[in-house]
A = this chain, B = another copy of it.
Amino acid sequence: MSVNRKTKSFKLIMDVFNENKNAISAIYLVDQFSNKMNKTTVYRILDRLENDGILHSFIDKQGLKRYAKDSDDNSITHPHFLCQDCGISTCVKVNITLPDISEYNIKSSEHLLIGTCKDCLSN
């Protein structure tokens, strides 16, 4: 019973995340591969990859859905950094200590840090 067929489209998208540790927006990939595959395909592959636990997603400040590859040293709650200047979004490998709030039962969390990255600072 195959759950994930290694199609051309699948491989193309997987390659991007293997070569790039940044959080990439769905719409960017749609654009990037507009001549290789349909946009619906991009969204569905990303969906599958997330359901399989290979990618994780979050919604950035502009409301765009971004995906990044899960790696072993990514803890459950790790923040994402979004550079205002170049738009590059990276997973920050730092644990955020969640405040202990007795009134709530917290199951997951999203942390988005917005600012300027090293590259843009030096330009």
Binding site for B on A (CB under 8 A): 59-63, 65, 79, 81, 83-84, 92, 94-99, 101, 103-118, 121
Q: How many copies of the chain does the oligomer comprise?
A: 2
Closest 7 CB pairs of A and B: A94-B99, A106-B115, A110-B112, A107-B115, A105-B116, A103-B118, A105-B115
Instruction: Decide if B96 touches A92 in the complex (CB within 8 Å).
Output: no
Complex contact A114–B105 (CB within 8 A) = no
Assembly CA distance A117 to B99 (angstroms)? 15
Q: How far is the CA of A107 from the CA of B120 in the complex (A)?
A: 14
Contacts of A114 in B (CB 8 A): 106-110
Q: Are A99 and B92 in contact (CB under 8 A)?
A: yes
